[in-house]
Amino acid sequence: MRRPARCSVVVPAGAGLAVAAALVLAGLATDDAGHGAPREQAGTVVGTAAAAAVMDPGSRSDAPELTGEDLDGKPVSLAGLRGNVVVLNVWGSWCGPCRAEADDLERLSRQTRADGVRFLGINSRDRDRTAARSFVRAHDLTFPSLPDPTGELLLRFPPALLNPQAVPATLVIDRRGRIAASIGGAVTEEQLRPVLAHVAEEGS
């Protein structure tokens, strides 16, 4: 089994959530001209996920509206996926842990599609779409991603559920459009699969 990326500092993922996430403090900075992929520096959280628990349906928050064009200019919206379980993954081409989890996410996307699970990415802080598209090709990702170079999409979520400074991060959204689980850090197939199975079985 693949080992997750190492973390040097461990902090809790989100206050009040039944989520345990191991995160390492790192950061982002654009180049001097303000272009291209960010570089690591103090202030942003990157790392590996430890575990996640599915929230009780009565305590779930509705996911915000997400709509726009994906990295290839095709229209996509979170509302258009309603009725499916949705894995919403925040990633960046500059992010090492994102590269570590990408193959697992693509494999799960293919394997769970028949169970009514769909994947949607939020490409965070890649000001140059060329780098983001290269990441997609390198990992043969078949699910769409909404570009979010300024972090505006991430700010629509409650910070306790999705820290806009935490990359990567994954949310699992139930068939009714509510956030069922929040995972901070790079996630593995072994960690995410049982969460998806649980949420997919609800109301089936």
- Angstrom distance (rounded) from CA 151 to CA 164: 7
The pTM (predicted TM-score) of the whole model is: 0.77
Give 76's strand partners: 68
Topology of domain 19-201, per CATH? Answer: Glutaredoxin (3.40.30)
Count of alpha carbons within 13 angstroms of residue 42, beta-carbon side: 0
Q: Distance between CA 169 and CA 183 in Å, rounded?
A: 6
Q: What is the pLDDT along the chain (204 residues), one digit of tens a residue?
A: 444 332 222 223 333 333 333 222 233 333 333 334 444 433 334 444 445 779 999 999 999 999 999 999 999 999 999 999 999 999 999 999 999 999 999 999 999 999 999 999 999 999 999 999 999 999 999 999 999 999 999 999 999 999 998 899 999 999 999 999 999 999 999 999 999 999 999 965
CA–CA distance, 52 with 127 (Å, rounded to integer): 31
pLDDT in tens, 177-200: 999 999 999 999 999 999 999 999
pLDDT of residue 16: 32
CA 144 to chain centre: 12
Per the listing, tokens 């559920």 go with 161
As a whole number of angstroms, the distance between CA 7 and CA 118 comes to: 29
